[in-house]
Structure 1
Amino acid sequence: MIRSRIAGATLAAALTLTGCAQLPEEPGAMPDDFVPAPSVSPGDGSVALSPDGFSAAQRMTVRVRNVGCGFIATGTGFALDNHTLVTNRHVVEDAKRITLTTYDGRSIAATAASTTTVADIAIVTTEESLGTSYAFRAQEDPAEGDVITVVGYPNGGRLTTTAGVVLGATTDPLEAALGTVLATSAEVEEGSSGSPVLDETGLVVGVIYAKNFSNQSFIVPISTLNSLLDEASLFVPEQSCTSSNPGGL
């Protein structure tokens, strides 16, 4: 997530509010002998390219633009259905207005955002139809060594894909309420926060939320996301940063 805050923002704040939070050191002992594999080649199923050259994974992925009070930020999200998408909590925090841009350049205003303190996850809703493909979620977390592909909008730029492998499970390096997360070798940039992580069949197996200075990325595993989506009570409305418009976007 790209932020240009007013003067006086501290480094600590920057680390928690930038899209893929930069971590000062990598967690625990992790396997380091993995080499990122090539992106999954278009073929059959959900990773196949359509006639216009976009895969289902690319179609469901959107750019998230957060216009806040004193900053502008961008991140990534992915559609669950016509009017709902998943992104990171830190992507939509302190928003005055949230705008979504689809793979084909359409701009759609968000009508509401809800976040949870259990994980760095947010749900954003729209009145206008996203009109994209939608995520098919895996039921199990990826295993160590599994090849994964990340689809997102690094640095708020064009839609890209990058590949890597799962390095293993670790405790949340950001020490949020979340417990176990997964480290991967996929190299991501600011603006990639909220990107879907897909397995070789095109199923979503996690959500990018952070990176470290060793270019390891960290994902909220699909088991956590599925549990959260089954417990709507864990989400609360995100408040607008404007006191004159409480609760709205």
Structure 2
Amino acid sequence: MTIRAAFVQVLVLVAVGNLWADHPRGEGEVSRANQFFDDGAFRKLQTDQARALHANGSLVKASDLAKQLERKTVGLDLPEAATAVSPMSPRELYQKCRQSVFSLAEVRDCEGCGEIHVTPYGTGFAITADGVLLTNHHLIKALESSSRLVASTADGKTYPVVEVLASSEKDDVAAIRIDGSGFEPLQLSVDNFVGTRVSVINHPRGHLYSLSEGIVTRLFTQYSQRTMLISGEYAVGSSGAPVLDSSGKVLGMVAATSSLNDQMILRVCIPTQSLLEILTQSEPGAAQEMQDPLATERACLKATFAAFQQLLQLHQQGRISSEEMDERFATLHSIMMHAIERCPDDPVAKQYSKVAEFMRKQQRTQSGEQDAADQLPARRDSNPE
């Protein structure tokens, strides 16, 4: 690192504290004196840090990242699902999840003026504490070969994107790694049913860290591709943003918009089921070439079983009705059985089979009790006493 670059980096790190001066990282509330996000201060921090990283050779060319788009899967240790997560208000969710959402920016050498230009480019979000983010495949592919890519947290701290770990052009998803650690990862959930309330933290046309709300309006497959539609608004610059449920879990990722003859805008998202296709569970230090060929199914089993456990808790707490419980269970059961067919010896599969059998016995018992109860009035009527 040159003396000039080091000096710039020090100035930037000192300035980071001024962006959210009244909101230290980790606190839940923003003071009234500083509840307005300073776009100008953020852009200056992002630009200064990106230029410093460029000067010390920390940035990776897009041409090198593009070559890594051929990688299909990556083994990761995803964070365990919390046993019980209470729904949050939109304000609480925004404060809790904002620091896990990144603003991506393209860094370009301008031949005309000789300056380093830093341009808002898209969105990403952390799924591990050690710097693995999810974003869209099309964002990486569309970069100019000589460009670089950086990712910034809400407090303005900027990190170089150094590697593409895995991607899928069909599903438009990429797992990238940034040179940093200590992040708050978001958890993935397959509990993305039609009607579920969702929130999106995104950067539409550079409007940094905007929050929009809506519901899941449709889930469908076409040509073997899963798609999720939502009613929450977003625009250019939001690609790669997380679609969150009320507990802050990721149900999908923003991908695109589509106009129906200027009568309706479809908000097209990638459901978590497709995100999991490129993510596989691995033991620490496991080699890429030694990955389990059924790792995707095992990851799906684990995520679905976690959603199943959360569903049971919601029902036990009286937060969903028995009818809604049955409807959601049927969907989860179908997903589980498909994965169990591929890997019946998985410990999660065996655990789920025991729980499912117990539930079936309970349903048969309850059904028998109901049948007996239905017959009681008839027996009373037939008894003259």
- Superimposed CA distance per residue, residues 194-217 of structure 1 (whole angstroms, 9 cap, x where no aligned partner): 000011111110001011232331
User: In the alignment, which residue of structure 1 is the partner of 2:356?
Assistant: none
- Contact 2:167 2:278 survives alignment (8 Å): no
Q: Which consecutive residues of structure 2, in runs of 5 or more, have no partner in the other structure?
A: 1-87, 111-116, 282-287, 290-385
Quick check: 1:74 aligned with 2:121?
yes
Partner Cα distance (1:85, 1:168) in 2: 26
Partner Cα distance (1:163, 1:157) in 2: 16
1:94 deviation in Å? Answer: 4.0
Partner Cα distance (1:160, 1:196) in 2: 12
Are residues 149 and 216 of structure 1, via their aligned partners in 2, closer, same or farther at CA, if it must alter by over 3 Å? Answer: same
TM-score, normalized by length of structure 1?
A: 0.65
Quick check: 1:101 aligned with 2:152?
yes
Quick check: 1:195 aligned with 2:241?
yes
Q: Secondary structure at the match of 1:109?
A: strand
- Contact 1:66 1:91 survives alignment (8 Å): no
> Letter of the aligned partner of 2:102 in structure 1?
V
Q: Secondary structure at the match of 2:127?
A: strand
User: In the alignment, which residue of structure 2 is the partner of 1:88?
Assistant: 136
1:78 deviation in Å? Answer: 0.1
- Contact 1:79 1:133 survives alignment (8 Å): yes
Partner Cα distance (1:116, 1:68) in 2: 26
TM-score, normalized by length of structure 2?
A: 0.43
Quick check: 1:185 aligned with 2:231?
yes
Q: Secondary structure at the match of 1:55?
A: helix
- Contact 2:226 2:274 survives alignment (8 Å): no
User: In the alignment, which residue of structure 1 is the partner of 2:187?
Assistant: 136
User: In the alignment, which residue of structure 2 is the partner of 1:122?
Assistant: 174
1:100 deviation in Å? Answer: 0.7
1:188 deviation in Å? Answer: 0.7
Partner Cα distance (1:197, 1:69) in 2: 33
1:135 deviation in Å? Answer: 0.6
User: In the alignment, which residue of structure 2 is the partner of 1:62?
Assistant: 102
Q: CA RMSD in A?
A: 2.7
Partner Cα distance (1:210, 1:145) in 2: 20
> Letter of the aligned partner of 2:170 in structure 1?
V
User: In the alignment, which residue of structure 1 is the partner of 2:275?
Assistant: 225
Partner Cα distance (2:269, 2:198) in 1: 11
1:80 deviation in Å? Answer: 1.1
1:93 deviation in Å? Answer: 1.6
Q: Secondary structure at the match of 1:142?
A: coil
Q: Which consecutive residues of structure 1, in runs of 5 or more, have no partner in the other structure?
A: 1-38, 48-53, 234-249
- Contact 1:56 1:134 survives alignment (8 Å): no
Quick check: 109-118 or 146-155, which moved more? 109-118
Question: Structure 1 segments of 4 or more deviating over 2 A?
Answer: 39-43, 66-73, 213-216
Quick check: 1:155 aligned with 2:155?
no
- Superimposed CA distance per residue, residues 82-122 of structure 1 (whole angstroms, 9 cap, x where no aligned partner): 21100001112243200111110111111112422231001
Equivalent runs, 1:235-246 vs 2, <5 Å:
none
Partner Cα distance (1:66, 1:90) in 2: 14
Identity %: 24
- Contact 2:131 2:183 survives alignment (8 Å): no
- From the two aligned structures, give the one with the greater strand fraction: 1
1:165 deviation in Å? Answer: 0.8
Partner Cα distance (1:40, 1:209) in 2: 25
> Letter of the aligned partner of 1:62 in structure 2?
F
Partner Cα distance (2:180, 2:151) in 1: 11
> Letter of the aligned partner of 1:221 in structure 2?
P
- From the two aligned structures, give the one with the greater helix fraction: 2
User: In the alignment, which residue of structure 2 is the partner of 1:207?
Assistant: 253
- Contact 1:194 1:208 survives alignment (8 Å): yes
Greater C-alpha radius of gyration = 2
Partner Cα distance (1:117, 1:69) in 2: 27
Q: Secondary structure at the match of 2:270?
A: strand
> Letter of the aligned partner of 1:216 in structure 2?
L
Question: Alignment length, in residue pairs?
Answer: 181
Are residues 151 and 225 of structure 1, via their aligned partners in 2, closer, same or farther at CA, if it must alter by over 3 Å? Answer: same
Partner Cα distance (1:89, 1:178) in 2: 18
Partner Cα distance (2:109, 2:270) in 1: 28
Partner Cα distance (2:213, 2:89) in 1: 8
Partner Cα distance (1:116, 1:69) in 2: 29
> Letter of the aligned partner of 1:76 in structure 2?
T
Q: Secondary structure at the match of 2:162?
A: strand
